[in-house]
Each structure stands twice: as C-alpha cells, then as structure tokens.
C-alpha cells in the first residue's frame, strides 16, 4: 500500500504531539505523582506509535512502542518514576523530532539516526524491566487492539463481536463503581473477552474517563445494546462491530482510519503551506500599493462615480488584507512551549535548580517574526541560566531562595510586542564590563570611568564580548548579544537591558507584530519623502524658535513636562550638517521608552505601506529598516526610529 500521501499529515500531527509530550514531561518531572500527566504522555506516545506503524515507519513505531511500554509500567505503578526514566523519555522525544525532520525533508531517517534509535530502544527496554506477579499477569497485559486470541474461544455460530466504547461524565464521583456496573450489566446478555484498560485497572481507577469493552453476544442490534447499558453519569457510548481480518486488511484499515479520524477531529482547520501564504501575502501587498495609487487617481479625476467605485474596491481590498494578515498570525505558544525544555536542559548541565515561568503564550504575531525570534530567545534564556543565575550554594549564602526564577513574558504594546526575559540572579557587573572593554582595546580606562551603567551595557552587544571564565556546553564561546541585537534590529525591533547587581536582570525586546504591511506617517526632508511608523509617532505640531532651549550644549524643547532633544530630521539622516534656526512642522517620536523631536520640511500624509527589505548595499545603514513604494509609484525609505540619531 502506498502511504506517502499520508506522510505530510503524519509529520504535522506528530510535531504537535511532540510539543505536548515535552510540556507534559517537564510538568511530570516536577510532579512525579500526577497520574493525569502520565496518562497524557502515554496517550501521545501511543498515538505516535500507531500513526508511524500505519505509514510503514517501523523504527519510529518501534521506539515509540518501547517508550509506551515504559510509560505503561510507570502508570500502573510497576515502576517508580526516577530521573533515568525521565531522561530516557526526553531522549526518545529528541530522536522522534530528528526522525520527523528527516521525513519532513522528504527522505527516510539516515542510517546513523537509525543506529541511534536502535541503541535508545535497548536502553528504554532495559529501564522498563519490572518484577511481575506472575507469568499469566504479564501475558494478559494487553495495551489494546483486537486480540482475537482472547475473543475466539467465546464465539459461537450465532454470536457477534462488538467493541463498546464508554465515556463517563467529567465529574463522575466513583469511576470504578460506574465501570463495574456497566460490565456487570453487559455480562447479563453476553460475555466479556477483555477490556482496555484491563479490568483490574478499571477496578483500581487507573483510567481517565473512557474505557473499551470487547464483547461477544447473540444480540445483533447496536441500539438495543446501547439501551441496556445506558446509565446516568455516562456521557457517551459508541458501539462498533468487530470482525477478524488478515494482517494486510488490518494495516489498510488502521492507516485509513487513523488519518481519517484526524481529519474529522478538525473540520474547521485546513493546513496551508507557508510558501503559499507568503505568495498570497506578496500579492496582497502589491494590491495595497495599487489601491493607494487608484485612490489618488480617483481624487485627481474629480469624478464622483469613479471615486465611489474606487472607495468600494478599497474597502474590499482592506478586508482581504486584514484576513490574509490574520491567516499569518500564530500564537506565541508556537515557540514559547519549546523553551521550558531549553531551560531545563541548560539548568541540568550547570547543576542549577530553575523555576521557569511563561506569560503571554496566547499573544499572536506574524509567523515570519516568530520564527526569527526563536534563536535570540534561546540565547537569552541560556544566558540567564548560565551567566545570570547563581549556583544553589551561592544563592543560599546571599539569603535568596535556593531555586532561581527565570521568566519569559510577552505583551502587546500598540502594534508591537514587548518580550521580556527576566531572572532573579546575580545581575550584571558593569564594572567588570568596563574592565573587559579596556582589555579588548575598545576604550581607555579614562573613557570608561565616565560611562553610565546603560552606556557600559552597550559593550555587551559587541562581537566577541564574553565575561565567561570558561567555555561550557551552554555559553562562553564568544557568540553573544551581538547576534541577538543584530537579529532583533533586522526585523525592525530593538533591545534594551536593565539590571541591578545582586537582584537580577531584564532583557526587553520590542518587535513589530507584523513585518508585511504597516501604517506610516510620510514626511519630507530635503525634498525626499520618508516613512515613519505610526506606532512611534506621538504628536505633531508647529515649532516656534522661542520654544527651543539649549541644555548642556544640546538643543531641547519641553514636552510633557520633560526636556527632550530636538533637531532637524535632515541632519539626523546626515543629509546636512548645519542646524540653522529650528522652527516649522515637528514630529515627536518614541524610541525605546524616551522621546525625541525632529523638525521636518512638511507633512505629506498617512499611508499603509508594504515593507520590502533593503538591498545588501543599504543593509549596513541601521538608520533605515526597509523600503516601500509611494502612491505616486516612487520608492521611499522607512526610518528605523530606534536607531535615529538624537
């Protein structure tokens, strides 16, 4: 049977299960006595095993089966959960992620990966060894499926075999008593071959809400069977007739049914390739450019009929634009849910105890930005665990909790996302930073002595800067905040650092929620039109010369009861060097929590623009974040306000 048509669906669904496995296993590591977590992990691994076997990925299925066996013995209390078992299951998840990545690339797992999987299977099998009460009990431990070796001895010429799936209500008080009542009733008009979970597990309440009964009876009416076992506190009953199949028929049925069920479970969702979404976004972007051009031409025509028609087209285009942008949004949980594992592994290597907190998982942003954020956030989290967090002994000595806290949070601020990585560790020693800067020849001792804490922190983003005394598996390799800063700035964002010695540090990332289409204020400077993001425009007004002051050798104005710097935009863009008299139309911009005012030649208007990346010749200039096309069809640069000179 050709199963390649199911491969993409297998990859997609398995990746979702792997994310769930990581999250649940991290929770189980902290709460080893929680049976619900063990059941959740078992079910996910069982599903992966079934899907892998259905499409012929036998080694993936085999490893998942070994892990499933280990989990089954843990949840039946035949083994006590210990760190070796947890580590082995984490290794299984890592292997499955690697194997699925190979399948996603259109190829089967390489031999080296298969060898790793075989070794891991043996390791898990050894960990799963547990004492059994008897040989009979061990052989009767069936995890599911249609076991006709237990069904056939009960069959007669006139009997029928059914699989009865019973789902109890969520708030049922005595699950085992309700399950016993159902089984006792069924035995009045038939014979029970076996149950899943096994009957002893039902009696001990080692199951969630549902259980299945493989049942032999002379009744051939599913409706009548359902009516006989229908009691209160039962949410649903599903009855399916079971027939014995050849091995080939069973494989065909499992393959089709497994993926048909997945499709039916999500009738409102359609998976669309990212390539197709990108093409659709580019087309909508072009449509927006021409919409603006049409609106301008309609105004010039002074024909009300044409203007009304263009307005209608513009309204439809805006709605289409909104829907396409919404289709690109994904929740922060897409990458946030992977970070608890990153922190856990880093803490384990460094022998530190970390309480990791996530906030703002539900915030949505453009998929492309979310993908670019993954690498910087991994670095910042590892940095917090390694450089930021003290050892348990050091924390106790300084009067802190033995367990350190690292928090990753996200919140929406206007049309930007503020992402914060915070720890309650040792903080950043700015005197050590100054010392390192002098050692590397970036500044003299005299120069660094007059630097503020914020100015000293700027050295952290220099290539090759590291205060680590030795290289570890986590950090200290000279690949530092310069990579983070470069990546954040490439998406039109900014990074700032706050730290108090002995109390901890905060890294704040401001990034746009969408890179595709933004609303801008168009201004003119030296006969050139520039675009300023509206999210950072605070106010516009007419500046009078008498309102300009000189403070510490710099020109400033009073804005909201505070002095803020002011200069011509043309000078900030290095289009001219002479300042002259400051007066005329002025715009106040917000930049990383502070304000600055810029005098412009004139206001051009507002426009939604499609952001295009800069060419490699302009990419080194951090003053601009991209380029766009004006209504007139002319190119214009988008100013990166955070990197604009003050």
Give the tens place of pLDDT for each residue, 326-353. Answer: 888 889 988 898 899 889 988 888 889 9
- Please name which of 79, 63, 40, 47 lies closest in space to residue 124, comparing C-alpha atoms: 63
User: Is residue 226 in a domain?
Assistant: yes
- Please indicate, yes or no, whether residues 607 and 462 belong to a single structural domain of this protein: no
Asked whether residue 619 carries a pLDDT value surpassing 90, the answer given is: no
In a domain, 261, yes or no: no
Q: Is the dihedral of CA 184, 190, 195, 198 positive or negative?
A: positive
pLDDT of residue 132: 41
Q: For residue 137, name the pLDDT band (cuts at 50, 70, 90).
A: very low
Residue 581: Cβ-neighbour burial (10 angstroms; 0-12, 13-18, 19+): exposed
Q: Using an 8 Å Cβ cutoff, are 354 and 405 in contact?
A: yes
CA distances from 42 to 109, 169, 203, 372 (A): 24, 21, 20, 33
pLDDT at 267: 46
| Mean per-residue pLDDT over the chain, rounded | 83
* Residue of 254, 269, 316, 257 lying closest to 291 (CA atoms): 316
User: How many Cβ atoms sit within 10 Å of the Cβ of residue 240?
Assistant: 11
Taking the CA atoms of 297, 299, 302 and 304 in sequence, report the sign of the dihedral they define: positive
Query: What pTM was computed for the model?
Result: 0.65
Q: Which of the two residues, 231 and 605, has the higher pLDDT score? A: 605
- Number of domains making up the chain: 5
Q: What is the mean pLDDT of residues 453-460?
A: 82
Q: Is residue 141 part of a domain?
A: no
CA–CA gap between residue 128 and residue 85 (Å, rounded): 8
Same domain, 446 and 530: no
Strand partners, 545: none
Which helix (H) or strand (E) segment holds residue 193: the answer is strand 191-196
Q: Which pLDDT does position 244 carry in this prediction? A: 76
Q: Is residue 391 part of a domain?
A: yes
Q: Which residues of 439-472 are buried (b: 16+ CB within 10 A; e: fewer)?
A: eeeeeeeeebeebeeeebbebbbbeebbeeeeee
Among 295, 328, 361, which residue terminates a domain? 328
Checking 30-35 for CB contacts under 8 A at 24+ apart, the result is 32/81, 35/75, 35/206
pLDDT in the model for residue 406: 95
Q: Of 466, 484, 512, at which residue does a domain stop?
A: 512
Same domain, residue pair 14 and 118: yes
pLDDT of residue 245: 61
Least confident span in 107-116, 183-192, 425-434, 534-543: 107-116
**Exposure pattern of 408-417 as b/e (b: 16+ CB <10 Å)?**
bbbeeeeebb
pLDDT above 50: residue 482: yes
Residue at 49 is within a domain: yes
Nearest to 81 by CA among 142, 24, 133, 147: 24
Same domain, 40 and 94: yes
Of 8 and 600, more confident: 600
622 contact partners, CB below 8 Å, separation of at least 6: 489, 640, 643
Q: What is the mean pLDDT of residues 625-640?
A: 86
**pLDDT exceeds 70 at position 130:** no
pLDDT of 260 above 70: no
Residue after which a domain boundary falls, among 468, 492, 512: 512
- Asked whether residue 25 falls in the same domain as residue 107, the answer is yes
For residue 234, pLDDT beyond 60: yes
Question: Looking at the predicted structure, is the pLDDT value of residue 143 above 50?
Answer: no
- Indicate if the pLDDT at residue 437 is higher than 60: yes
The pLDDT score that the predictor gives to residue 275 is 78
Say how far apart CA 417 and CA 510 lie, in whole Å: 6
421 with 359, same domain: the answer is yes
> Is residue 467 over pLDDT 70?
no
239: domain CATH number? 3.30.70.1110
In a domain, 562, yes or no: yes
Q: Residue 413 pLDDT more than 50?
A: yes
Q: How far is CA 631 from the centre of its chain?
A: 37
**CA–CA separation, 50 vs 41, rounded Å?**
14
Query: Pick from 508, 509, 477, 482: which is nearest to 493 by CA?
Result: 509
Most confident range (mean pLDDT) of 147-161, 241-255, 521-535 is 521-535
Which of 152-156, 185-189, 354-358, 471-475 shows the lowest per-residue confidence on average (mean pLDDT)? 471-475
Domain match, 498 and 374 both:
yes
The enclosing domain of 352 has a CATH number of 3.30.565.10
CATH classification of the domain holding 598? 2.30.30.40
Q: How far apart are CA 303 and CA 512, in angstroms?
A: 39
CA distance 526 to 85: 68
Please name the residue ranges forming H helices in 31-152: 35-54, 58-75, 83-104, 111-127, 135-139, 148-151
Residue 277: C-alpha distances to residues 2, 103, 281, 323, 516 (Å)? 29, 22, 6, 12, 12
DSSP code at position 627: E
Q: Is the pLDDT of residue 596 over 60?
A: yes
**562 pLDDT more than 70:** yes
Residues 210 and 112 both lie in one domain: no
**Residue 324 covered by a domain:** yes
Same-domain pairing of 14 and 155: no
Of 414, 633, 628, the closest CA to residue 514 belongs to 414
Residue 583 confidence (pLDDT) above 70:
yes
Q: Region 186-212: what's the mean pLDDT?
A: 86
The string over 125-145, giving b where at least 16 C-beta atoms fall within 10 Å of a residue's C-beta and e elsewhere, is eebbeeeeeeeeeeeebeeee
Q: What is the dihedral of CA 253, 254, 260, 266, to 10 degrees?
A: 160
pLDDT digits (tens, 9 = 90+) for 363-386: 998 888 888 898 899 889 988 998
Instruction: Report the distance separating Cα 628 and Cα 637, nearest Å.
Output: 6
pLDDT per position as a tens digit, 32-64: 888 888 888 998 898 888 888 878 888 888 899
Name the pairing type of β-strands 635-639 and 528-533. parallel
Looking at residues 70-86, what average pLDDT do you find? 87
Lowest-pLDDT range, 140-154, 394-408, 489-503?
140-154
Residue for token pair 């201004």: 523
**Residues forming the active site:** 46, 68, 383
Closest-CA residue to 424 (of 486, 353, 487) = 353
Q: Where are the alpha helices (H) located in 492-636, listed in sequence order?
A: 569-572
Please tell me whether residues 502 and 403 are part of one structural domain.
yes
- Summarize the confidence of residues 167-191 as an average pLDDT: 87
Give residue 586's pLDDT band: very low, low, confident or very high (50, 70, 90). Answer: very high
358 vs 276: which has the higher pLDDT: 358
- Tell me the C-alpha distance between 382 and 345, whole Å: 9
**Pair of tokens at residue 367:** 């998929």
Q: Quick check: is 448 in a domain?
A: yes
Q: Are residues 535 and 615 in the same domain?
A: yes
User: pLDDT at position 641, please?
Assistant: 87
Does 563 lie in the same domain as 432? Answer: no
Closest by Cα among 332, 526, 345, 305 to 418: 332
Sign (positive/negative) of CA torsion 206, 212, 218, 220? positive
pLDDT at 79: 85
Tell me the residue range of the domain where 94 lies: 4-135
Q: Are strands 562-568 and 537-543 parallel, antiparallel or unpaired?
A: unpaired
Q: Given its phi and psi angles, is residue 552 left (phi above 0), alpha (psi -120 to 50 degrees) or beta?
A: left
């Amino acid at each position: 049977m050709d199963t390649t048509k199911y491969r993409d669906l297998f990859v997609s669904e398995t990746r979702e299960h792997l994310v769930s496995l990581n999250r649940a296993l991290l929770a189980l590591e902290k709460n080893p006595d929680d049976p619900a977590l063990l059941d959740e992990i078992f079910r996910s691994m069982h599903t992966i095993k079934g899907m892998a076997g259905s499409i012929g990925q036998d080694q993936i299925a085999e490893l998942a089966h070994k892990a499933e066996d280990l989990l089954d013995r843990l949840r039946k209390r035949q083994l006590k959960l210990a760190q070796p078992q947890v580590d082995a299951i984490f290794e299984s998840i890592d292997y499955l992620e690697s194997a699925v990545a190979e399948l996603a690339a259109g190829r089967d797992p390489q031999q080296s990966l298969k060898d790793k999987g075989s070794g891991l299977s043996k390791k898990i099998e050894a960990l799963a060894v547990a004492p059994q009460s008897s040989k009979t009990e061990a052989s009767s431990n069936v995890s599911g499926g249609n076991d006709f070796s237990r069904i056939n001895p009960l069959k007669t010429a006139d009997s029928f075999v059914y699989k009865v799936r019973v789902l109890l209500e969520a708030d049922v008080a005595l699950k085992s008593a309700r399950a016993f009542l159902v089984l006792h009733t069924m035995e009045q008009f038939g014979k029970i071959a076996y149950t899943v979970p096994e009957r002893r597990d039902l009696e001990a309440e080692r199951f969630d809400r549902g259980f299945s009964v493989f049942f032999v009876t002379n009744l051939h009416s599913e409706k009548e069977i359902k009516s006989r076992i229908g009691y209160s506190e039962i949410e649903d009953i599903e009855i399916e007739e079971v027939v014995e199949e050849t091995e080939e028929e069973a494989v065909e049925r499992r393959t089709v049914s497994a993926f048909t069920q997945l499709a039916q479970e999500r009738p409102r969702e359609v998976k669309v390739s990212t390539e197709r979404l990108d093409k659709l976004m580019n087309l909508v972007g072009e449509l927006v450019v021409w919409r603006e051009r049409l609106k301008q031409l309609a105004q010039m025509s002074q024909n009300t009929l044409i203007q009304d028609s263009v307005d209608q087209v513009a309204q439809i285009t805006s709605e289409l634009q909104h829907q396409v942008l919404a289709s690109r949004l994904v929740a922060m949980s897409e990458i946030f849910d992977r970070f608890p594992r990153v922190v856990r592994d880093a803490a384990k290597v460094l022998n530190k105890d970390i309480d990791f907190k996530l906030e703002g998982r539900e915030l949505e942003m453009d998929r492309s930005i979310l993908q670019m954020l993954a690498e910087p956030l991994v670095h910042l989290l590892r940095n917090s665990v390694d450089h930021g967090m003290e050892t348990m002994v050091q924390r106790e000595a300084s009067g802190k909790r033995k367990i350190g806290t690292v928090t990753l949070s996200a919140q929406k601020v206007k049309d930007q996302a503020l992402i914060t990585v915070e720890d309650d560790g040792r903080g950043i020693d700015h005197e050590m930073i100054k010392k390192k800067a002098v050692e590397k020849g970036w500044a003299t001792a005299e120069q660094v002595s007059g630097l503020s804490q914020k100015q000293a922190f700027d050295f952290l983003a220099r290539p090759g800067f590291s205060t680590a005394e030795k290289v570890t598996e986590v950090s200290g390799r000279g690949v530092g905040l310069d990579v983070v800063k470069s990546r954040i700035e490439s998406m039109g964002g900014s990074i700032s650092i706050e730290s108090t010695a002995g109390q901890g540090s905060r890294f704040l990332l401001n990034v746009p929620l969408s890179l595709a289409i933004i609303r801008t204020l168009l201004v003119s400077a030296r006969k050139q039109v520039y675009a300023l993001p509206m999210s950072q425009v605070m106010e516009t007004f007419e500046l009078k010369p008498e309102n300009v002051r000189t403070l510490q050798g710099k020109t400033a104005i009073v804005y909201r009861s505070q002095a803020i710097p002011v200069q011509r935009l043309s000078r900030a863009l290095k289009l001219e060097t002479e300042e002259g008299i400051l007066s005329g139309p002025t715009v106040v911009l917000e930049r990383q929590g502070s304000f600055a005012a810029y005098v412009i030649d004139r206001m051009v208007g507002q426009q939604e623009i499609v952001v295009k990346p800069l060419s490699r010749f302009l990419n080194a200039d951090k003053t601009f974040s991209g380029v766009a096309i004006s209504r007139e069809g002319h190119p214009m640069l988008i100013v990166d306000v955070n990197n604009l000179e003050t």
